[in-house]
Amino acid sequence: MHKTFGTTYRRALLCVLLLVSASSSLPLFAQSAYPNHSIKLITPFPPGGTSDMLARLVASKLSDGLGQTVTVDNRIGASGNIGHEAAAKSPPDGYTLLLSNSSTTVNNPHLFKKMPFDPIGDFAAISIVASSGQVLVVHPSLPFTTLAEVTAYAKANPGKLNFGSGGKGIQSHISGEMYKSAVGINIVHVPYKGGVLAVNDLLAGHIQMVFSDMAPAMAHIKAGKLRAIAVTSAQRAAALPDVPTMIESGLAGFESGVWWSIVAPKGTPVEIVNRVNTELGKMIQLPEVRETYAKLGVNTQHSTPAKVVESIRAESPVMGKILKAAGVEAE
């Protein structure tokens, strides 16, 4: 009888342990489902610019695809470094994403002696989502209609022309430095905390020209408030088919542009990376997304996570050589 009691007791105890184990695993399983609450998408540039508009489009479509609200968090400053640092220091749980860009990850390491993050080591890459060239725009009060005229005036009046950019190291700055180096002119760089602010000052006549992203400039070009001189892409931009390229304007081999990607903090689970990548792939197939991209003057892109890393590694040394040739040093 004692033996029977012992066997019965052990069976009862085993059942209790199994029930406790099963019940305790249920919350863990529920918590593992991604996503189960809202997600933050950091964008390192101010409202109104291409990065911000892309971020809001991506956030809207990811909200639809993931079934949770994705909100945009503008963390501006230091040519994108502040937003990237904030993302890098966030928990790697999939609830913080970052709209990154090549200006910050490819250019900044050559322009800042001390970077607050590692462009590759501090992030889990997800996908490239867009790419674009730029457009050189001038204030319409100036007598320039061609790149040759801008160059001729700059050579005859060294230091009298200035060009605005979205910040030190941003592609609008790099394009200006490439132009200066290619034709041997002295034009003064005026950095802003975002390309929209540079365009606004150009409209006000405080600066003379900007190598602008397409989105902040196109409406003003069409309204006659800015004059487009040339685009920096290898081919003419679909959004501005009548505007020649820098190459067509006499600068052989001149090509400058930027691409944007979605990344997460290092250590974000691969299952989450793959889920977000899949949703981004679905997003760029949507007709309304393609239409919005066209209005922004950017190209739709989708890639593997590895492609993001490969692009940074391939482009960074090339950018280092361009900046060295232009006489631009890290500060």
Question: Are residues 66 and 45 part of one domain?
Answer: yes
Single out the residue in 231, 266, 281 at which a domain terminates.
231
Residue 170 lies in a domain: yes
* Same-domain pairing of 141 and 159: yes
Among residues 231, 249, 274, the one where a domain terminates is: 231
195 and 267 belong to one structural domain:
no
- What pLDDT sits at residue 139? 96
The CATH code of the domain that includes 52 is 3.40.190.150
Q: What is the pLDDT of residue 327?
A: 77
| Predicted local distance difference test score (pLDDT) of residue 16 | 40
Exposure of 101 in the CB half-sphere (CA atoms within 13 A): 28
Q: What is the pLDDT of residues 203-250, one digit of tens each?
A: 999 999 999 988 889 999 999 999 999 999 988 988 899 999 999 999
Our count of domains for the chain comes to: 2
Residue 240 included in any domain: no
51-55, 67-71, 194-198, 300-304: segment of lowest average pLDDT: 194-198
Q: What is the pLDDT of residue 328?
A: 79
Residues in contact with 97: Cβ distance below 8 Å, sequence separation at least 6, in sequence order: 39, 40, 41, 42, 70, 87, 126, 262, 263, 264, 276
Q: Are residues 50 and 121 in the same domain?
A: yes
Give the integer Cα–Cα distance in Å for 288 and 9: 66
Same domain, 101 and 155: no
Would you say residue 108 lies in a domain? yes
CATH number reported for the structural domain that contains residue 213 in this entry: 3.40.190.10
| Banded model confidence at residue 31, pLDDT cuts 50, 70, 90 | very low
Question: Is-contact 187 162, C-beta < 8 A?
Answer: yes
- Looking at the domain assignment, is residue 293 inside a domain? yes
Cis bond leading into 35, ω under 30°?
yes
Instruction: Identify whether residues 139 and 225 lie together within a single domain.
Output: yes
Same domain? For 287 and 212 the reply is no
Look at residue 6 and tell me if it is in a domain: no
Residue 194 lies in a domain: yes
User: At 310, which amino acid appears?
Assistant: E
Residue 322 DSSP symbol: H
Band (17; pLDDT cuts 50, 70, 90): very low
Query: For the chain, how far is it from start to end, CA to CA, in angstroms?
Result: 86
Does 122 share its domain with 269?
A: yes
Residue 23 lies in a domain: no
- Alpha carbons within 13 angstroms on the beta-carbon side of residue 310 total 7
For residue 196, is pLDDT > 80?
Answer: yes
Same structural domain, 195 and 124: no
**Mean pLDDT throughout 106-123?**
95
The mean pLDDT value for 153-168 works out to: 94
**Residues 202, 190: Cα–Cα separation, whole Å:** 11
Q: With bands split at pLDDT 50, 70 and 90, how would you rate the model's confidence at 72?
A: very high
Tell me, yes or no, whether 213 and 263 share the same domain: no
Look at residue 10 and give its three-state secondary structure.
helix
Q: What does the CA dihedral 298, 299, 305, 306 come to, rounded to 10 degrees? A: -110
What does the pLDDT read at residue 185?
95
Residues 117 and 157 in one domain: no
Q: State the chain's mean pLDDT as an integer.
A: 89
Q: Is the pLDDT of residue 86 over 90?
A: yes
Range of the domain at 310: 39-132+258-325
CB 211 within 8 A of CB 136: yes
11 confidence band (pLDDT: 50, 70, 90): low
Residues 33-58 have a mean pLDDT of 94
pTM score, whole prediction: 0.78
Same domain, 119 and 262: yes
